[in-house]
Amino acid sequence: MLRRLTIRDFVIVDRLELDFAAGFGALTGETGAGKSILLDALGLALGGRGEAGVVRVGQERADIVAEFDLPANDALSAWLAEQALESEGDCVILRRVVDAAGRSRAWINGVAVTLAQLRAAGDWLADIHGQHAHHALLRADAQRDLLDTHAGALAVLDEVAQSHRDWQALVTLRREAEADSANSARERELLAWQLKELDELAFDADEWTELNAEHSRLGHAAALMDGADATLAELSEGDGAVCSILRHLDARIAELADIDGGLADVRELLSSAAIQADEALHALRRYRDRLDLDPQRLAEIERRISSVLDVARKYRTSPEDLPELAEQWRDRLVALDARSDPLRLALAEAEARQRLDAAAAKLSALRRPAADSLSREITEAMQTLAMAGGRFEVALEPCAPGAHGAEAVEFRVAANPGQTLRSLSKVASGGELSRIGLAIQVMTSRDAATPTLIFDEVDVGIGGRVAEIVGKLLAQLGRERQVLCVTHLPQVAACADWQWRIAKTERDGQTLSEVKPLRGEERIEEIARMLGGVNITATTRDHAAEMLGAR
């Protein structure tokens, strides 16, 4: 659940630190006092859209920090570990900063993250139902998503979507093959001829390196031989041979070092130099023995290099890239061969369609009982929401299997007894839509894994006994989750486990929003204000106390 929300310089909030409790909490206050601003700030911390206008006038940045209990949800813990965002304790801390220029930064557990990462974490932690959320229920895709969530069918839906993509790809491949068979045949013939030429060349990148090294050596063989002979002569021949001189100097210093130990280092250096000179001499002799003038081998290498360069120029590539080019041609030839076999393509397409049909059937099997249960639950809720005798139905209309399954989903309603069920978008009035939407939101919220549910004035358009029923629905939901609700209705607020009043205040010539937890008489006074408006009487207070006592 949401533990704490810290807000700095957000719209008309300067500094707030709010500690939240479990259960159902009501946020009340006069219109424009800033109730929805608190939820907007929380929405920002959960990854909502941020812009410069959210920064309080005259300040550099808005800063929001939301601290949640880490839910008993292996999926979130695994995701945090995968992203290297684990917390040391049992909480998850989301932070969002928006500066006066509209630039935004985000953190999870103190680690800088992208907005997409912040939003992904927020989806596991809280779900915000806005005051106009019921309008989304008029969209077919929103209705389908609600049903699939209620059915626990999201994983199967992903399987259907992938199967549909696979099948569509094969359908496209078959159609392209049928339309372009002549061109494909010409391309296969050309590729086969080109590959034959490269195969006959029998060339690889390692050979190219070896060819160039050997060519360089043979091309400079005479200079290498002359240089090696001259160096050998200076190392080992005549009175001035380097090796002889070093050995002589080593022997002389050895005698002197026996007299004066201070020459030991010099002796060691000369001895090492003499040894290394001898080793260089032997290595150079071995190298010289291998050197030979071989005009025939040099001509062979030059012919081979010329052949490779001719082919590389022909295909406008470098010699080193010829092997990779051959692999690309082979892959393309395999693809063309596959496209050239109509029977094979048709078989693959049929198998993909079977997989799609099977996945769609599995999705349908989950949707049917979920549609029945959701229809029954919403119909029961309607009876208590001033729509006695009304009916609600989640209709499943069969269609050709596609990315969303083998049926179209449509919410249908009959708001009054005896009426025919018709599309929700065509028959529900504004007030009816609001009540039906609220019932759907409350019922389907039970299906979500999010531990915190937030309702922002979703009770607009209702009142009286219906408002009391809505309050009891939210209170019932609050026994399972943490529920926060911004409301103007005393019947709803009186059902809450705890209540805060949000009000505007003047400070240093600025209008600011403040939050006050209500207890005892303060809460009675607030409920009375919501009941009676400006002039609050003893009778109004008694009524408020009675409402709270009935809770």
Starting from the edge strand earliest in sequence, which strands make up the sheet with 510-518, in order? 126-129, 452-456, 482-486, 24-28, 498-507, 510-518
Selection from 82, 329, 300, 303 nearest residue 188 by Cα: 329
Rounded distance between C-alpha atoms, residue 250 and residue 246, angstroms = 6
Rounded distance between C-alpha atoms, residue 262 and residue 268, angstroms = 11
Element (DSSP H or E) covering residue 319:
none
| 94, 118 Cβ separation under 8 angstroms | yes
| 440, 137 Cβ separation under 8 angstroms | yes
Which residue matches tokens 């389908």? 144
Contacts of 547 (CB under 8 A, 6+ apart): 490, 491, 494, 527
Residue range 349-369: mean pLDDT, rounded:
95
Starting from the edge strand earliest in sequence, which strands make up the sheet with 2-10, in order? 13-19, 2-10, 61-69, 91-99, 104-108, 111-113
List alpha helices for 385-463, DSSP H.
424-427, 430-445
pLDDT of residue 182 exceeding 60, the answer is: no
List alpha helices for 16-85, DSSP H.
35-45, 74-82
Starting from the edge strand earliest in sequence, which strands make up the sheet with 422-423, in order? 391-402, 405-414, 422-423
C-alpha radius of gyration, the chain, whole number: 41
Rounded distance between C-alpha atoms, residue 191 and residue 60, angstroms = 64
| 87, 76 Cβ separation under 8 angstroms | no
Rounded distance between C-alpha atoms, residue 439 and residue 470, angstroms = 8
Q: What is the pLDDT of residue 40?
A: 87
pLDDT in tens, 408-458: 999 999 888 888 898 887 765 666 776 777 777 777 776 666 788 888 776
**What is the C-alpha end-to-end distance of the chain, expressed in Å?**
23
pLDDT of residue 161 exceeding 80, the answer is: yes
Residue 87 CB neighbour total at 10 angstroms = 16
What residues does each domain of the chain span?
2-131+425-518, 185-338
Spell 451-476 as b/e; 16+ CB within 10 A means b.
bbbbbbbbbbbbbeebbbbbbbbbbe
- 28: which 2 tokens? 């009340």
Q: What is the pLDDT of residue 159?
A: 95
Q: What is the pLDDT of residue 163?
A: 96
Rounded distance between C-alpha atoms, residue 13 and residue 41, angstroms = 10
Q: For the packed helices 205-219 and 221-236, what is the interaxial angle rounded to 10 degrees? A: 60
Q: What is the pLDDT of residue 73?
A: 62
When comparing pLDDT for 514 and 176, which is higher?
Answer: 514
Selection from 101, 121, 109 nearest residue 50 by Cα: 101
Q: What is the pLDDT of residue 523?
A: 92
Least confident interval from 77-86, 143-152, 237-246, 336-345? 336-345
Q: What is the pLDDT of residue 338?
A: 63
Q: What is the CATH code of the structural domain delimited by 2-131+425-518?
A: 3.40.50.300
Long-range contacts made by residues 290-298, C-beta under 8 angstroms, separation at least 24? 291/221, 291/224, 291/225, 291/228, 292/221, 293/221, 293/222, 293/225, 294/218, 294/221, 297/214, 297/218, 298/215, 298/218, 298/219, 298/221
pLDDT of residue 282 exceeding 70, the answer is: yes
Q: What is the pLDDT of residue 428?
A: 56
Q: For the packed helices 74-82 and 115-125, what is the interaxial angle rounded to 10 degrees? A: 160
DSSP string, 422-444: EEHHHH--HHHHHHHHHHHHHHH
Spell 42-57 as b/e; 16+ CB within 10 A means b.
bbbbbbbebeeebbbe
Q: pTM of the entire structure?
A: 0.60
Rounded distance between C-alpha atoms, residue 157 and residue 215, angstroms = 63
Element (DSSP H or E) covering residue 152:
none
pLDDT in tens, 33-43: 677 788 889 98
CA distances from 519 to 125, 498, 526 (A): 28, 8, 10
| 249, 315 Cβ separation under 8 angstroms | no
When comparing pLDDT for 73 and 528, which is higher?
Answer: 528
pLDDT in tens, 469-507: 888 888 888 888 899 988 888 999 999 999 999 888 877
CA distances from 312 to 206, 316, 321 (A): 16, 6, 8
Q: What is the pLDDT of residue 20?
A: 92
